Amino acid sequence: MARSLFRLGGEACGWGCTAAWCRAPVAPACHLAPTGDAGKPRLVASRRAEDLPVSQTGAGRDRATANHAGAHGPAVRGWCPDAWRPMAAGDGLIVRVKPRLGRLSADDLAALGEAAIAHGNGLIDMTRRANLQIRGVRDDSWRPLLDRLLDLGLVDHDARREGARMMMVAPDWREGDDSHRIARQLLDRLDELPDLPGKMGFVIDAGAAPLLPGEAGDFRIERARDGGLILRAEGRAQGVPVDSGREVDALLALARWFVESDGARAGRMARHDAPLPDWATGTTEAAAPRPRPVPGAWDGGMAYGLPFGRIDARHLLDAPAMRLTPWRMLLAEGQLPGLCADAADPLIHVEACPGAPACPQASVETRDLARQLAPHVAGRLHVSGCAKGCASSMPADVVLTGRDGRYDLAFHARAGSAPVRPDLTATDLLAHFGAC
């Protein structure tokens, strides 16, 4: 077995999951899996509580909620799902698709949209790692959906390689530029990667200046102030220059060092406090970041904001090729009528997780309230169903955090920050912001 990921008969699971209901051992790729279950989805625990692993049976649902949501606050998981390892949510399985180089052709998008309608509930979410998630997939639809995605080449036939393909690329790359070149080379060498903790990923940010400095990643290639490229370990302010053509060698070497220096114990590069080896230690600063694209025209077409990061799969059926971003925005290589290209639209400035009832950890509704408040809030609004703050880890101008069926109000803060006004109802908030 490529990774010792699954628990069987009391054996500890490599994901850290100890839930008795876990069906992960049915994984077709897991040699520990009992026979006769091949073809069933591997349900695995979600790192996002909105997608808590809820068994499709009622009893399992209760156990899952008890074990993972808990009574003591939101659960945090140490890995990400993918198409081979769907996760269960309140509306069915979620199947994640990780487009190579963050781009999907028009044909890919049409096929993906059709598959989401045929096998899911027709809703697709963008993730903060610039991936897509097909929602509402039934147990008996997962395998046909996976087969379709394999046929399309959107998912790797090797489940391990699919899992290892955790990569974010500056979304405005051009054919043959440094980001494109390095990302292609890394894709070609995924088999050389050691087994890494499940959430770890690579960031290839080699445009004229960085675009992704605050986005999730562990091993980074970034543009330096002097115009060269640097290798930078997440959590370290500076990096080390890397020769052109040797970037992937450097990334692989840093990943191997992470494993050999017991980084798996920390789980992420930023938490791994072992001194970097000399060859990875440098004092070179990344260049000042470029401004992100905003909804409207961009160099390659039109950028569209997706309120709450969600799109109806029908929009994809006639879409031009698109780049995915971690900012709930699509960079279309053309026009896509029906989506928001207006940077002034209030909903573009709102973050809201699914909240109740979709998420078992939420005690409050989120998105309807966010829609109502958005036109009345100056700056960024974040409505979070609980203190975990899945929708955004960044501070917002106005933050509402659900707690025990009410909302805590804070300003210039993150979800879960100490409130200025605690225990408010939705009616209180609508009145406070003049929305009713």
CA separation, residue 301 to residues 330, 331, 334, 336, 341 (Å): 10, 7, 5, 10, 11
> Closest-CB residue for ligand SF4?
385
CB 26 within 8 A of CB 37: yes
Rounded-to-integer distance, Cα 277 and Cα 36, Å: 47
Interacting positions 34-63 with ligand SF4 (CB under 6 A) = 48-50
Total residues at interface with ligand SF4 (CB under 6 A): 16
Residue selected from 171, 389, 392, 413 as contacting ligand SF4 according to rule CB under 6 A:
389
CB 405 within 8 A of CB 363: yes
CB of 372 to ligand SF4, least distance (A): 18
Residue selected from 354, 367, 377, 426 as contacting ligand SF4 according to rule CB under 6 A:
354
383 binds ligand SF4 (CB under 6 A): no
CA separation, residue 338 to residues 74, 114, 240, 315 (Å): 36, 18, 45, 8
Residue selected from 180, 367, 388, 403 as contacting ligand SF4 according to rule CB under 6 A:
388
Rounded-to-integer distance, Cα 83 and Cα 162, Å: 8
416 binds ligand SF4 (CB under 6 A): no
67 binds ligand SF4 (CB under 6 A): no
309 binds ligand SF4 (CB under 6 A): no
384 binds ligand SF4 (CB under 6 A): yes
386 binds ligand SF4 (CB under 6 A): yes
230 binds ligand SF4 (CB under 6 A): no
Residue selected from 383, 390, 410, 413 as contacting ligand SF4 according to rule CB under 6 A:
390
Between 335 and 425, CB nearer to ligand SF4: 425
81 binds ligand SF4 (CB under 6 A): no
131 binds ligand SF4 (CB under 6 A): no
CB of 123 to ligand SF4, least distance (A): 15
Residue 65 phi, psi dihedral angles, 5° rounding? -65, -45
Residue selected from 155, 182, 330, 362 as contacting ligand SF4 according to rule CB under 6 A:
362
Residue selected from 353, 400, 426, 429 as contacting ligand SF4 according to rule CB under 6 A:
353
CB 96 within 8 A of CB 84: no
Write the binding mask 16 to 35 for ligand SF4: x where contact by CB under 6 A, - elsewhere: --------------------
CB of 75 to ligand SF4, least distance (A): 8
Sequence letter at residue 147? D
CB 168 within 8 A of CB 130: yes
Rounded-to-integer distance, Cα 90 and Cα 51, Å: 7
Task: Tell me which stretch binds ligand SF4 (CB under 6 A): 6-14, 226-234, 339-347, 355-363.
Answer: 355-363
Task: Tell me which stretch binds ligand SF4 (CB under 6 A): 5-13, 156-164, 338-346, 353-361.
Answer: 353-361
Footprint on this chain of ligand SF4 (rule: CB under 6 A):
48-50, 74, 353-355, 359, 361-362, 384-386, 388-390
